[in-house]
Amino acid sequence: MKDKYKDIKRYLNRAYRLTQTKDKLEREYEKKQKEVGNISVSNSEIKSNKIVSNVENKAIELISLKNNIDLHNIKIEEIKKEISCIISKFEDENLRDLLRLRYLEFRKWEDIAYILHYSDKHIFKKYNEALKEVEKILMST
């Protein structure tokens, strides 16, 4: 049963995985920003114009990282819209909420069970129902 819905889970988890990558890029961006603010200059670097090159390189790295982050944000929003469209086709409001909490808000299973007033065991039963519905929806498109 676990492997049966592996592809569907992977499909639904795309926004989460991209968000993790984007978060990593944002941390790197912040680190590089601090590095730019902490550039120290020696007299020999000023005389040889190395300082300009060093600052330019750091600025280019920052711009590149920022563009990459922006592209990730766009892709994440596109994927979330796609998943939201699938979820909206569910008749069962609880299944819609379950998938919304998991794949659009990236909530933990314990949180979802608590919010929906399910036991830990029951949440996974409902989750399997939801995966079956997603499969039906994807097969019909």
Q: Residues 36-58: pLDDT tens digits? A: 776 554 555 445 555 567 777 88
Q: Is this structure's pTM higher than 0.85?
A: no
| Distance, CA of 127 to CA of 133 (rounded, Å) | 10
Query: CB count, 10 Å around CB of 83?
Result: 21
Q: Residues 75-111: pLDDT tens digits? A: 999 999 999 999 999 999 999 999 999 999 999 999 9
Q: In the predicted model, is pLDDT for residue 19 greater than 60?
A: yes
Band (pLDDT 50/70/90 cuts) for residue 118 is: very high
Band (pLDDT 50/70/90 cuts) for residue 67 is: very high
